Chains A and B, each alone.
Chain A
Amino acid sequence: MGSAAGFLPFHFSNKKRKLYVNWMTKTKDNMEQYSATTISVEDELQLITRAQNGERNAFSELVRIHARGVFNVVFHMSGDALAADDAAQETFIRAWQNLSSYRPQTPLRNWLYRIAFNAAMDMIRKERHVLPNDIDEMELRDERSGPESLVSQQERTTMVQKAVLSLPDASRAVLVLREYEGMSYSEIADALDIPVGTVMSRLNYARKLLKENLQPKLAVAAEADYVQTR
């Protein structure tokens, strides 16, 4: 790992280098979340340049770094592990095909997540009949009172997942990037190419809908916690 002032790819202008390094410095604290494999800014830039020049090994390295993040996004968008695996692969194939149009003003992760979101949406449209898409199909409300009414962990997870999947696509994307990827509002805005104000309103809307759908279960969970602590 070299220093930031070291061997940045020669074809990036000083302005581009500055933009990229500034962004990465700002998000340095999130570097652990940023990738499964820690990598320095300049090393990633080198990999990108080499991949842009057609080096498959460099691209494979980028795939290794971002695979978990991309998979996480597409899984929570689609709710299906198999479809997510396929969509994640599709994301990287599209990224490879369009790598020449990538510009370092946008961090690679954000760029990949934008592609991942589109790949997941395409997958959902294609396989809508296979993927769970109707929250009403689930029995969300349990009228019984007391901790004995708690649904099993598995059922609760499925219920939450279905509630997330029932959200409008645009709101779900914002929620997934915030809750499961821990991205800031400005990063989400960058990834989805929308204003920060829109991120805020979509997130408010998504959480409001989820609370309306899941409120009874939240109450039951709180009651269970209360009982356990006594």
Chain B
Amino acid sequence: MSKHVSEWLNAYYDGELHGRQLKLVEEHLAECEICRSELESLAGLSALLHEVQTPEIGSLERFTSQVNLRLPHEKRTVVSRKQVIEFGWWTIPVGLLATWAFVSTAFLLSDILSVASGLGVLGGMSEWLASGPSNNVYLSTTVGQMGVLSSNSVNFAEAAETLTRMSLPQISVQISIALLYLSWMAIWWTRHTRQGHGQFLEG
């Protein structure tokens, strides 16, 4: 005789077994008195449990009215976690664009001021404004002093270093923003593809 199927008897009794497992239990029950008795005790227990009758709720109208009376007049707006995440998700590109606009404007203003200062348009203010980082060309000068470069090359290197020193922060910030934006687009596309257009728009 196969081994007892006690652990499956509840599921069998509840009609939750299917296929091979069901067949195995049925076959075992056909030949095992102990398991049959256990199954009968489950039926007995169920019958006993159903002796506990649920009292009548009374009039449905009374119950509904009482619920209605207790309902708050102003329905509480529940912001689900998903809605919060969705809001945060759509804030990312807006935030990135705003940052890009701010940084670009700042750099543009800085360039305008630099040019104006160079042309002497700002007069006395140029000294005050020039208190920021200077355009020193330490590297080119050092290399030139070592005699590695000719005088023309030194001039060229100094000009290139000045340009790099002024533009590098601007370029790196804009590249970072662009990369973040592209990453967001990639994630959006993945979500969009996985969830289907309608589902995604609904959130």
**Chain A contacts to B: CB under 8 angstroms:** 11, 13-16, 36, 54, 56, 59-60, 63-64, 67-68, 71-72, 75-76, 81, 85, 88-89, 92-93, 96-101, 153, 156-157, 160-161, 164, 175, 178-180, 184-185, 200, 203-204, 207, 210-211, 214, 217-218, 221-222
> Within the complex, what minimum Cβ distance (angstroms) separates B119 from chain A?
61
Query: B75 and A54: CB pair below 8 A?
Result: yes
Query: A179 and B46: CB pair below 8 A?
Result: yes
Q: Which of B46, B63, B78, B198 contacts A89 (CB 8 A)?
A: B63
Query: A184 and B51: CB pair below 8 A?
Result: no
Query: Which bracket fits the contact residues of B?
Result: 35 or more
In the complex, which residues of chain B have a beta carbon less than 8 angstroms from the beta carbon of A153? 51
Q: How far is the CA of A60 from the CA of B70 in the complex (A)?
A: 12
> Within the complex, what minimum Cβ distance (angstroms) separates B199 from chain A?
5
Main secondary structure of the interface of B (DSSP, over half): helix
Q: How far is the CA of A116 from the CA of B7 in the complex (A)?
A: 30
A13-B199, A101-B78 known; A60-B64 Cβ under 8 A = yes
In the complex, which residues of chain B have a beta carbon less than 8 angstroms from the beta carbon of A164? 49, 52
Query: A13 and B49: CB pair below 8 A?
Result: no
Q: How far is the CA of A76 from the CA of B70 in the complex (A)?
A: 23
Tell whether B146 is near chain A: CB-to-CB under 8 Å. Answer: no
Tell whether B45 is near chain A: CB-to-CB under 8 Å. Answer: yes
Query: A160 and B52: CB pair below 8 A?
Result: yes
Tell whether B80 is near chain A: CB-to-CB under 8 Å. Answer: yes
A160-B48, A214-B45 given. 20 additional CB < 8 A pairs? Answer: A11-B202, A13-B198, A60-B67, A67-B63, A76-B52, A81-B55, A88-B57, A88-B63, A89-B66, A89-B67, A96-B75, A97-B75, A99-B75, A101-B78, A153-B51, A178-B14, A179-B49, A184-B16, A200-B11, A207-B42
Q: How far is the CA of A222 from the CA of B64 in the complex (A)?
A: 42
**Chain B contacts to A: CB under 8 angstroms:** 7, 10-11, 14, 16, 41-42, 44-46, 48-55, 57, 60, 63-64, 66-68, 70-72, 75-78, 80, 196, 198-199, 202
Q: Which of A11, A75, A160, A204 contacts B51 (CB 8 A)?
A: A160
> Within the complex, what minimum Cβ distance (angstroms) separates B162 from chain A?
57
> Within the complex, what minimum Cβ distance (angstroms) separates A157 from chain B?
5
A71-B54, A185-B14 known; A64-B64 Cβ under 8 A = yes
Which residue of chain B lies nearest to A214 when distances are taken between CB atoms in the complex? B48
> Within the complex, what minimum Cβ distance (angstroms) separates B53 from chain A?
8
Q: How far is the CA of A140 from the CA of B75 in the complex (A)?
A: 48
Query: B80 and A100: CB pair below 8 A?
Result: yes
In the complex, which residues of chain A have a beta carbon less than 8 angstroms from the beta carbon of B70? 89, 93
Which residue of chain B lies nearest to A54 when distances are taken between CB atoms in the complex? B75
In the complex, which residues of chain B have a beta carbon less than 8 angstroms from the beta carbon of A217? 48
Query: A211 and B78: CB pair below 8 A?
Result: no
Which residue of chain A lies nearest to B10 when distances are taken between CB atoms in the complex? A204
> Within the complex, what minimum Cβ distance (angstroms) separates A142 from chain B?
15
Query: B11 and A180: CB pair below 8 A?
Result: no
Query: A16 and B199: CB pair below 8 A?
Result: yes
